[in-house]
Structure 1
Amino acid sequence: GLYDYLQGVQSYLAPPIFVVFFFGVFMKRLNAKGALWALAIGFAMGIFRLIVDTPVALSGKTYEPNSFLWIVNNTFFQYYSLLILIVCAVVMIGVSYATPPPSYSKIQGLTFGTLSDVDRAENKASYTRNDVIFSVLVLVLILIAYFYFSG
């Protein structure tokens, strides 16, 4: 139904965004060209899967058994999401290492490897005890809702 379709759409479009953000925060060698290519390839893979899935969902017909499109359509959506994630990570790292690294001045304070003691102190001073308490409260409410609706 609609819920499954929305889960599929989200699972196809989220992996490239996750890869760019997560890897970008932890690896200071990665650059904008690698991020752009990872997003483009991941988006293309996600759109391809949606293009393959939509006619089957609308008409109920299937592709020729054991054909490429049949295999793509019958691959569990979470496995396909994992494939997108792996491909995007390889593309981002590969393109970033094949192109010049970003200058230190552009990434200073943006990745964990470039944080100074001053950056860490400013970050810690930017939030209060109430911010932490309300954040924990939101997490607890999310967990309560999750367990309530999961049965």
Structure 2
Amino acid sequence: MSGQRKGPHARDRILGARLRAVRKEQTELSLERAADLAQWSPSTLSRIETGKRHVSPEDVATLCTIYGVPVAQRDELVDSAKVGGNTSGWWDKPLPGVPAEMGALASYEADARRLTDWSVTLVPGLLQTYHYAVGAAAFRRGRAR
């Protein structure tokens, strides 16, 4: 065993957000107090809650015990930590020349359910009116000079 922790995945972001919601909505514990009860540093708990650290089923069980989470909810959270840990892809293996951050991005893409593209200043071609298209073309010609 190497002793190194796994890198974060998209499911860690989701699970971390759920754990933060449980702490804030079902307890009156501050981040610092919850970390103290878990015998972790506040930065460790913060990284777990923001999805910047891999969350093991044991970590989830520890936090659920501290937060006094009901058994059914605790089992569901622990199960989601177990299920997420079994998925694997090319991003889980270090590749020469590929930064480690690319693995996290690839895992987010693998877990994505939909793609949303949003732009403030662009109207897609099929939605443009004649006057908008003519004005945009004139604007681009003016900038080119």
Whether these two folds match at TM > 0.5 is: no
Q: Which has the higher helix share?
A: 1
TM-score, normalisation: structure 1: 0.27
Q: Which has the higher contact order (CA 8 A, sep 6+)?
A: 1
Structure label with greater radius of gyration? 2
